[in-house]
Amino acid sequence: MPKYTYRCEACGEHFEKIHSISEKLTDCECGEAGSLTRVPSLPFCVSVKKPKAGQIVKDFIEDTKQDVETQKEEMMRGMEDD
């Protein structure tokens, strides 16, 4: 299963979790619900732009979509290599 990096908006903590592509964590271990943002782990996905408040949700959805597409491509590539 793939490894994901999450960041908590409440406590600022980063941590990694291994789970399936269809799963998504939202609640931090600090007890804050819905505070987790998945951090793209691939270097070319990292962007330093700081979105405005209203833009965050939209960007997050786009990032998540891109992430899923990347995972799919990686899986396909892995199969071709064999």
Binding region for Zn ion (CB under 5 A): 8, 10-11, 28, 30, 32
Minimum distance of Zn ion from residue 26's CB (angstroms)? 11
Strand residue runs (E) in the chain = 3-8, 14-18, 36-39
Query: Which H or E element spans position 32?
Result: none
What are the Cα distances from residue 15, in Å, to 6, 12, 55, 73?
6, 10, 24, 25
The smaller minimum CB distance to Zn ion, of residues 11 and 61, is found at 11
Minimum distance of Zn ion from residue 28's CB (angstroms)? 3
Minimum distance of Zn ion from residue 31's CB (angstroms)? 7
The smaller minimum CB distance to Zn ion, of residues 8 and 67, is found at 8
